Each structure stands twice: as C-alpha cells, then as structure tokens.
Structure 1
Amino acid sequence: MHASLVSTTLPIGSDADLAWVRQQVRQAAAGLGFSLVQQTKVVTAASELARNTLVHGGGGHVQMTVLEEASRRGLRLSFVDTGPGIRDIELAMTDGYTSGGGLGLGLSGAKRLVQEFALDSRPGHGTTVTVTDWSSAVPSPRTGAP
C-alpha cells in the first residue's frame, strides 16, 4: 500500500503547460533524491505522456503524487484526458510505433523509462496513463538522510 504525502494537479492544455509539467516533475524528482539519470528518465517519460495528453487526448491534466512507502520515496504521475481513447492499445504499445510528433518514444518508450506503468483507455472515453518511479537514494545509516 502506498501512502501519499503531497498531490498536485497540473493542467495540460498548451505547449506552455508542457514546459511547466516538465519543470515541476524535475523539481519533484530532485527533491525526492532521484539521481540525475533517474530525473532525466522520469522527465522524458512525463514529457512524452504530457504531449500525448495534449495532442491525442485534446488536453487534460497530470496528477503528480509524492509517495512514501517504508524506507523509500517515489513519484506517481497520472496523465488523464477525456479524448477519443486508444483504439488499438497493443499497436500503440509496440516499439517504434508513433503517430507523429513528440519525442518519438511512444508509450513503449515511456514505459521503459519508469519502474511502474499502467494504461487505461477505452475508445470514446479517454485515456489515463499512470507511471511511478522510486528514488534509488539510500538513507545514510547515521542520519537516515540520503
């Protein structure tokens, strides 16, 4: 069971919102002790998923939640839109599949960049993609801090 500490909703309705989402995700990941490589991966995944939300879903929002579980801290991002949904999820999850634009990573690329990935989509009812990544920072035995 995950205990959430802080949850924030960020709108995704314009290119400016995409930049804001990337900035907020990077700040949250850095604050959780994510390594530079981890930060880059989660920001890249968030960028791809936010662009999908805007371009394919017609806009929506991302719910950004800081998680704490036992001795680890994580970041969960849920990208939600009420657009047309994904008709062929299997095809959309295929490596190399792109419908144009974005970073060319597609959903499969975003999935590879994070530790947990879930996709819920039905044609005509929108799409929710939830990704979670956990900090690899190890607490110091003396202080308990990373």
Structure 2
Amino acid sequence: MRNFDFSPLYRSAIGFDRLVNLLETGQGQGNGGYPPYNVELVSEDQYRIAVAVAGFADGELEITANDNLLTIKGAHANNEQGARNYLYQGITERNFERKFQLAEHIQIKGAHVVNGLLFIDLERVVPETLKPRRIEIK
C-alpha cells in the first residue's frame, strides 16, 4: 500500500481537525507557495499566522474575513520611477493573494507587521451555549 503525504491539503486551514480537513478543504492556491507562511498553535485555543511580506508597506496589505475565509492580499502601489536595470533580481516584487479556510468560532484578534513578517492572531471562541455542560442528577 502506498503512503501519501496529504499535508498540502490541510496546511491552509486553521482550527480544523486535520483528518476532517483532509477531506473538506483541498483548496489549491496556484501561487507557487508565494509568499511563504507559518501557522503556529500558540495555546489550546489560540493560533498565529506569520506571512513573509518583506517589501510591502502596511498600506499595500489588505486582510479581509468573510464566512470563515481569511484573505490576505498584497499589492504594490504603481511606482512611476521607471524600469530598473537589475543585474540579478532574487527578490520577488509580485502581488499576491493568500487564502485560509477558518473553522467555526475562529475569530481574528489582531494583525501587525514586524521585521517583514505579517502576524495575524486568531482565537477559537466557542459560545457558552455550545460548550459541554454537566447536568445534575436529582
């Protein structure tokens, strides 16, 4: 029997059980992995996404959340400085759009840029009505 690496299918989903997510969110992002990012489990109900956005000003970044879909866009402002004459260009200056499928009850707590990394803090906030509760037997 062949072993398959399914990690690319669920690496862009936050707050899902990985086994369930494997079947539900195989979203391909045809951007060749640009920009690179990390997803970190900070604590049991807190997550942090770090996206490498070196070369983008804060005003060139846009973060939107809509129906459990987090979208991060980076678009360079049109510079009228003329074409540059690179001898070698290893730093990518292209625009990007990266999407993350969020599980139910995941809320965005904030975002900030430090040293070329965009950090987005997320938290799972389950309403009291959905939390397990103990029923007293009388």
- TM bucket (normalised to shorter chain) is 0.3 to 0.5
User: So what's the TM-score if we normalise by structure 1?
Assistant: 0.41
Which one has the largest radius of gyration? 2
User: So what's the TM-score if we normalise by structure 2?
Assistant: 0.42
Greater helix percent: which structure? 1
